[in-house]
Structures are given as structure tokens and as C-alpha cells.
A and B are shown apart, each in its own frame.
Chain A
Amino acid sequence: MDTKRTIFPNRVLPYLLLAPQLVITLVFFIWPAGQAVKSSFEREDPFGLSTSFVGFQHYVRLLGDPLYLDSLGRTAVFAVAVTALSMAFGLALAVAVNRLLKGGRFYTTLLVWPYAVAPVIAGLLWWFLFNSTTGVLAYFLGQLGIRWDHNLNGTHAMILIIIAAAWKQVSYNFLFFLAGLQSVPHSLIEAAAIDGSGPVKRFFTIVLPLLSPTTFFLFIVNVNYTMFDTFGIVDATTAGGPAQATNILVYKVYNDGYLGLNLGSSSAQSVVLMLIVVVLTVIQFRYVERRVQY
């Protein structure tokens, strides 16, 4: 990376220009995050009438709780599956639309729709489709000899939330991949074609490497999405069940804090979740970004 430094004579102006963003970050991120850290060291009754300092007790209890460690594992499965599925489908759809000579815009509009759907609605939609009593998909699976029951079968429930969460994110990935694909220079592909390489080879040796900045960006966004933005989907479909099979970390934070009113433990969980995402992002930037060619 080459460093170019421009020296501005005015010392106040840069800070003034940054101020709105700093204030927003402070009010909507640093301050609440600080509150979360503070309350993760406290035990408080729901009404806030009595508060006592308990040190690291919530953290110690969390890390000793087999259900919490279990939830960590489930979150990993969920995050990897959703990211892989939604990125693969997003890319496939983008490639398909990019090859169209006519109607590309029409398909783009259609494909972007799921992104406009609220997570809860998306969850409910899939919940209806897979409902073991009334769902259409459950009925077809039944015809194939698979007895679908996400109310009792943990694996089924996990598949359900993965599909719902991935479906919602495909549009986003599709849009970015499509934009990325359209910026791949045609001359390169044509030159390769003249040299006699087939479409598959062209895609993997030319297009995909050129898409790497987009892929890297989407990778981080998707991981963050699965970690923070999916509790609406889980709430509407499985509510963390059956028997905690879909109780991913972000849902557990919501469940214990908002419904269970255990603010201390919930804060500790959100701090842990925040740390996990920070560490993941750092690792991604440190190791994965090196492979990205801009």
C-alpha cells in the first residue's frame, strides 16, 4: 500500500467534518457497548431497584455452561452454512443474469425482492412452507418419504433457519456480485476465449480472481449478518427450539435478556458475541485480505 499524505492547513475543519460521524458512533455504538460491558459485571433485578457488582461471575458461569458452549458450536454451523449457501447462490444467480442479453434488469428486480422482506416475515414464510401439518414443502417431502418435523427434529429446525436466513441474504450477495461481474473487463475474457479456454476455465481463472474484493467484502458482511441480524428469523420460526437446537448466540442474547430479563448474563453474552465478531474480522483482514487482489 502506498501512502500519500496531503497536509491541510486548517486544523479544526477535519475534526468538524468528522464530528457528525463521531457523534453517531459515540451515541449509537460506544455508549451502548460501554453500558453492556458495565452491566455484564453486575447483577440487577428486572426493575433496576437493586444492583450489585459481581465481577466476572456471569462470564465464568457462561463458559462453564454446556448449553452455552453448545450454542457456540451451533452458531458456527449456522454462520458457515448460511454464508456459503447465500454466497454460492448469489454468485450463481449473478452469473446467470450477467449472461442474459435481454431482461437482465427484470430478473434483477425480481431477485432483489427477498431483501426487502423483513426477517420475521421471511422466517414465517418458510415456517408456513415447512409446517408439518399444513406446509406445502413438508407435504412434498412426505411424498418422498421424509417425515419433516422441525418442531421436534433439531436437524430439521437447523436446516429450516439456514434456508430462511440464506434466502433473505441471497439478494444482497446477488446485487454485489452482479456489479462485480459487470466490472470485469470484456477484453480479458475475449482474449482468453480466443486463446481457446472454455467458459468454466475462464470463470475460475479470470472472473473469480477479479471478483475477490467483492467476495471478501461480502464474506465479512455475511458473517456479521449471521451473527447479529438473524434473531428475527429464529424468533419467527423455531424460537431457538427444539431443545435449543437452533439457539444461536444472538438469539440467546435476546432470549435471556429481553424475555428472561436476566440482564447481567445477557450483557455478558453480547460482550462475548461482540468479541467473537471483532476477532473474526481481524483474522479476516489479517489473513484473508492478503489473497485479495484489488
Chain B
Amino acid sequence: MIRNFITAGFMLALSASSSLAATEITWWHAMGAELGQKLEAIATKFNESQTDYVVKPVYKGTYPETLTATIAAFRAGQQPAIVQVFEVGTGTMMAAKGAVYPVYKLMADQGEAFDPKSFIAPVVGYYTDTEGNILSMPFNSSTPILYYNKDVFKKAGLDPEVAPKTWAEVEDFSRKIVTSGAAKCGFTSAWITWIQTENLSAIHDQPFGTLENGFGGTGTEFTFNGPVQVKHWGNLKKWADEGLFQYGGPVGGDDAATKFYAQECAMTMNSSAGRAGVIKNAKDFTPGFAPLPYYDDVTKEPKNSIIGGATLWVLNGQGDDVYKGVAKFFTYLSQPELQADWHQFTGYLPVTNAAYELGQKQGYYEKSPGSDVAIQQITRGTPSVNSKGVRFGNLTQARAILDEEFQALLAGTKTPQQALDSAVQRGNELLREFEAAN
């Protein structure tokens, strides 16, 4: 809290001294390291392209930290114009009607062209309200994919060019890898909730919650304790006991990446935005990229996966000149060249169709094989009610609960059914709490 006061005061001083020349637009974000530098370069380019506005990016820590800092700043009346909010915070932001300036409205008010159809379908679907209006600006969206170690595959006598398509193959391949001694474990996974529960449900067209996975309103309930999810969690437990699967930790699963880089596990499932990290860290082996596996006895045609990452939200309480600048900046951000460059540098999805087409024209996907796995997986088929995405209030806590129940499952204190039932029940309490507060 004190830190926020100091930052707010500091920023006030900053804006007072430099407001003479151009209208300043503050942009709070959660991109560290290389991603942060890339983001700053984007802002600098915009600033150099014109003289009326200056976009000032400010790094605010992790996604949850950025969100909480924004909320604290809003309560103190010191909010930034633009803030990057991860997809888990979407429900919270959408409910905060008095705090948010919806992007579709902003663009219309400022007379900037903004066509929802130019964005790729799964991304637009995630951030639109029930009337089909886009509420936040798509920026860095990702989706989970499968990464595998081609060298370990070769050592285990598997074809290094063929990744497992189904969960049965994942099990089969893992067993070969472990028994042949090519690696200690078959596979690991980051984000058990996002990848092995939310995305699993979407891919197999199973509901995660009622009211179109929460898109239909706040009176929703979780329903992810269905037979497919129970079966999958049961399998993960079984495979963990056999040593085919290793748990990579809660939330983002910090250990999952380590296990994969250290060649302890031959496969891992992680966000497509982890691609840059995999290429950088896979010094002693060749990584392969593939879509997420599915159960072929549940579905012959897996649905699209769902997104993660973040979008840019505009907050109320700024002057009209600031909003004019924000709209101009968003138009700038939507350019295919810029989007394609960001996507190719980071591993995030190309959020507009034009950026994807540009990449194809540039021959990027042929030059770097596997780089289009994510986009192909997320755009396959027509999104159903169950694969459009998930949108719930208090989703951060609901995910934490799922992590806990998964740990209880692996520790052997709960059966898959018990763990998921308990997660649903505890999650529903959070939803009722959220409904009452909004």
C-alpha cells in the first residue's frame, strides 16, 4: 500500500514535469525481461511516429500484481490509462463496469476504425460481452501446446518427427521412454488448471461451468467434475504413480520447465509463449512442437484449445485527449506488421488474421517449423459453447483451489471424483461470493 502511494506520487511528479510537450498515456504491464524490452520498443516506435502523445509503459510485476496494483491505484484515483490484465482477471474487469471504458466504445467515440472480425475468432470470443462487443484490446494471447525432446525420443527408439497425438500414445511413448532409460519421466505439465482442466474440457467439448462457461452471466456454477475430467485426473494420478508423469508444481508450474530443460522429462505441456524460452534453454537437444493430446475414445475431432495471456483494458477517469491518444495507439497496435513481429518474437498468437497471413507470406512458418502449432490448434473447427473459453469471477482463487485439490489427488488423500467434486463445491462458493459483491 505504501509502495503504491510512493509510486503514485512519483508518477504524478513525472507527469507534471513532462506534460508540456505531449499528452501522456500511462500503460501498466506485466511483461518482464525480453518481453518487456520488446514491449518498450513498441511504445517507443509509436512515440516516434507522432508528436501529440507519449505512451509510457510501466512494469508492475506479475499479472496478479499488476491487477492488484491497478485496483489499488483506482481506489486512490491514480489509475493508469491502459493496463494489461491476464485472461483470468477478465471476469473481474468485466464486472467492474464503473471502472472500465470498453474498447469498442472508446474506438467508436474517437472515430477510429475497429473491426471485431479482423481478430482471430477464439480471441474475440473471449473478450466480448453477450452483445458481441469487444471490451478490451487483444494484445498477447497464447494457448498451451506440447513440447517434446527429439533426442530423447530417438534414444527411446521412437520416431523423433512423430509426437503423440492421443493420450493413449502419450502413455505408450512415456512408458517406452522410461523403460528404455532414455529419460526419467515421460511428461510433465505447467498450469494443471489451465491446461489439464480448462483446455482439456474445451478440446473434448465438455462444459467447465453452466451459462456457457460463465459467458452468460454471473449466476453460473462450475461443472468440471464430469466423466472426462475425472477420467483424466485419474489417469494423471495413475501415471504419476508409475513414474510416467511428474508434477511440475502449482499455478504456472515452475518446475515443469526445469524438468524439461534438464531432460528429466521428455515432454512438457506449456503456453505457446514458452516457445522462446524452450528454444533458448534447449542447448543440448532439439525441441519439437505439437498440439495438445486428446482422448480418441471421447472425440474423433478435438475442438479448439482456449487462450491465455492478456489484453489491454482502458480505465475510466482520464481526460478526453488521453482517450484520443489511447485510441490512436490501439490502431497502431493492430497493424499487421507490428502484430506479426510481436507474435514471431514471443511465441504469442498472432491476434489478428492479417498478422497471421503476413507471417505466411513472409514464409515464417516454413522457416521455423512448429511455430504455427498454436495458431492451428486454436483455430481448428468451429468454437462450441464449451470451447469458446471460460469466464468466471474470482477465477484466480478458483484456480488455486483446483491446484490444491490436484495436490490432494497426487498425495493420495482424495480420489479423482472426490477432488473434483470438492473443487466444484468450493469454487461455487467463490462464484456466489462474486455474484453477491457485483
Contacts and interface: CB of A to CB of B under 8 A. Distances in A.
Contacts of B394: 260, 262
Given A43-B437, A49-B98, A241 B250 contact: yes
A50 B97 CA distance: 11
Interface stretch (A151-159, A199-207, A224-232): A151-159
A243 B437 contact: no
A46 B404 contact: no
- A43, A131, A151: which has the most chain B beta carbons within 10 Å? A151
B396 A151 contact: no
A49 B96 contact: yes
A79 B437 CA distance: 34
Contacts of B262: 133-134
Contacts of A50: 437-438
Interface residues of A, number: 28
A294 interface: no
Interface in A261-283: 261-262
SS of A interface (majority) = loop
Contact of B95 (A44, A45, A154, A241): A45
A67 to B, nearest CB: 8
A259 interface: yes
B5 to A, nearest CB: 13
Contact of B68 (A151, A152, A259): A259
B292 to A, nearest CB: 23
Interface string B381-420: 0000000000000101100100111011011010000000
Contacts of A29: none
B255 interface: yes
A241 B403 contact: yes
A234 to B, nearest CB: 13
Given A152-B247, A239-B251, A260 B396 contact: yes
Contacts of A262: 394, 397, 433
A258 interface: yes
A47 interface: yes
B114 to A, nearest CB: 25
A260 B397 contact: yes
Given A46-B71, A49-B99, A259-B68, A242 B250 contact: yes
A103 interface: no
Interface in B57-107: 64, 68, 71, 74-75, 92, 95-99
A70 B408 CA distance: 15
Contacts of B255: 131-133, 151
B259 interface: yes
A108 interface: no
B436 interface: yes
A244 interface: yes
Interface string B38-70: 000000000000000000000000001000100
B333 to A, nearest CB: 25
A131 B410 CA distance: 18
Interface string A31-69: 000000000000111111110000000000000000000
Contact of A241 (B264, B404, B436, B438): B404
Contacts of B259: 133
A152 B258 contact: no
Interface in A146-168: 151-154
A260 to B, nearest CB: 5
A152 B403 CA distance: 11
Given A242-B404, A259-B64, A47 B437 contact: no
A243 B74 contact: no
Given A47-B74, A134-B258, A242 B411 contact: yes
Contacts of A244: 404
Contacts of A260: 394, 396-397, 400
B370 interface: no
Contacts of B250: 151, 239, 241-242
A243 B437 CA distance: 27
B249 interface: yes
B415 to A, nearest CB: 14
Contacts of B438: 45, 50
A255 B410 CA distance: 23
Nearest to A49: B98
Nearest to B64: A259
Interface string B245-257: 0010111000100
Interface in A101-133: 131-133
Contacts of A154: 411
Nearest to B250: A241
5 contacts: A43-B437, A46-B71, A47-B71, A48-B75, A261-B71
Interface of B: 64, 68, 71, 74-75, 92, 95-99, 247, 249-251, 255, 258-259, 262, 264, 394, 396-397, 400, 403-405, 407-408, 410-411, 413, 433, 436-438
Given A49-B96, A241-B403, 10 more contacts: A43-B437, A47-B96, A47-B98, A49-B97, A49-B98, A50-B438, A152-B410, A242-B250, A244-B404, A260-B394
Interface of A: 43-50, 131-134, 151-154, 239, 241-244, 255-256, 258-262
